[in-house]
Chain A
Amino acid sequence: SQTIHQWPATLVQPVGSPLSLECTVEGTSNPNLYWYRQAAGRGLQLLFYSVGIGQISSEVPQNLSASRPQDRQFILSSKKLLLSDSGFYLCAWDGRINSPLHFGNGTRLTVT
């Protein structure tokens, strides 16, 4: 069966520090991969998605970037964190057409 791993679960970082959140999927090949952010009291907002290695699409302008160095690995990064980057970040995957979206357990990021 397919599983998605996301780490770390929680992270506290000072303003201006770098960020790297990692997500991996097991049990499937060539998935679509997604990064969503959930701000306090708000719904989820799609940040990036990827349909293949090295293929990244950004949905909103921001301080973050994403990369997909391997088929089942998706990384969310920042060179210098802002206070506004605080939130709950969720990685997700799907197995192509008409399959549902499966989420990881999320990372709670606090920028101080």
Chain B
Amino acid sequence: AQTVTQSQPEMSVQEAETVTLSCTYDTSESDYYLFWYKQPPSRQMILVIRQEAYKQQNATENRFSVNFQKAAKSFSLKISDSQLGDAAMYFCAYRRSLNYGGATNKLIFGTGTLLAVQP
């Protein structure tokens, strides 16, 4: 069974600085998707970034980028120029490729990293 591990329960960063959140996963599959979701105090789950395992190029979305190391099964999130609004719980999630069967978005989540942004 696939698992997702986030070993940093809490992180803190100064405003305008850069922070990296760690995520590792375990799977025997070669084709899958990885996600980072943000959950602010409002508890809404917001998709931050998505990475397809067959793509070697790391995904980027404005100030958010990932370091995807497939062999190491590592998927870290880098937030550049941190802003106060980035303060939230961040979840890493895994989803198997639909090529393995099924048509549903059954995500497996890590336990999250609570990010605090200091002014």
Interface residues of A (CB under 8 A from B): 32, 34, 41-46, 49, 51, 59, 88, 90, 92, 94, 96-103, 105-106, 108
Is the contact region of chain B dominated by helix, strand, or loop, or is it mixed? loop
Beyond the given pairs A44-B107, A45-B109, A101-B47, 10 more chain A to chain B contacts, judged by CB atoms under 8 angstroms and listed by A's residue number, are: A32-B104, A34-B105, A42-B111, A43-B110, A44-B93, A46-B106, A59-B106, A97-B98, A102-B47, A105-B44
Which residues of A lie under 8 Å from residue B43 when comparing CB positions? Answer: 88, 105-106, 108
Which residues of B lie under 8 Å from residue A94 when comparing CB positions? Answer: 104-105
Complex Cα–Cα for A105 and B43 (A): 7
Q: Is the CB of A46 within 8 A of B107?
A: yes
Q: List residues 72-119 of chain B with CB under 8 A from any CB of chain A.
A: 91, 93, 98, 103-107, 109-112
Which residues of B lie under 8 Å from residue A90 when comparing CB positions? Answer: 45
Q: Mark B7-43, 1 if CB is under 8 A from A, else 0.
A: 0000000000000000000000000000100000011
How many of chain B's residues touch chain A, expressed as a range?
A: 20 to 34
CB of B113, distance to nearest CB on chain A (Å)? 11
Q: Which residue of B lies closest to A108 (CB)?
A: B43
Interface residues of B (CB under 8 A from A): 4, 35, 42-47, 50, 91, 93, 98, 103-107, 109-112
Which residues of B lie under 8 Å from residue A59 when comparing CB positions? Answer: 106
Q: Is the CB of B45 within 8 A of A43?
A: no
Complex Cα–Cα for A42 and B103 (A): 26
Q: Is the CB of A44 within 8 A of B103?
A: no
